[in-house]
Amino acid sequence: MSLAARRFAGLAAAAFVLAADQASKLWAIGLLGGPDHPIYALTPFLALVMSWNRGVAYTMLRSDGDVGRYALVALALAGVGLLSYWLWRARSLVSSLAFGFLIGGALGNASDRLTHGAVADFLYFHTPFSLGPLSNYIFNLADAAIFVGVVLLVYEATRRGAEHGA
């Protein structure tokens, strides 16, 4: 696959993730954002519930004020810039898609911070087992795309390591 095609695939993945994330959040806010904040059980371990995250993963770096909010947006945009550079230099389709997923996810959550002041989370994974922080985890499609992007990069790195005898 040509360099231009890999770049296009990565940019298309970023655009798709951003669009799907924002559309799903608009839908979730409409469904779950009312005054009674309903919870919809989908499975014994997954539910829909509205939550606003003013921090990053697991609400770390929580910021209720505008200065912190804009600092988190600036951090996300700096990350998008670095990821875009790596996407531009990616040598495989897997890496290009991974960077696209990371960029789209970061832009989706940054967009929430700008428009709502916090990130809209609505997918609630829960289990009765003690699994540490994953016993109760709430996320959105941008978070899922970021996770997939990281998994793809790890896969790519381990595949390359195996090819080179590492």
Tell me the catalytic residues: 121, 143
Residue written as token pair 């898609």 = 97
Coil, helix or strand at residue 78: helix
Cβ proximity of 80 and 88 under 8 Å: no
Residue 129: both structure tokens together: 């087992």
Chain position carrying tokens 């109760």: 136
Q: How far apart are CA 57 and CA 87, in angstroms?
A: 23
- Torsion angle (degrees, nearest 10) of CA 12, 90, 143, 156: 120
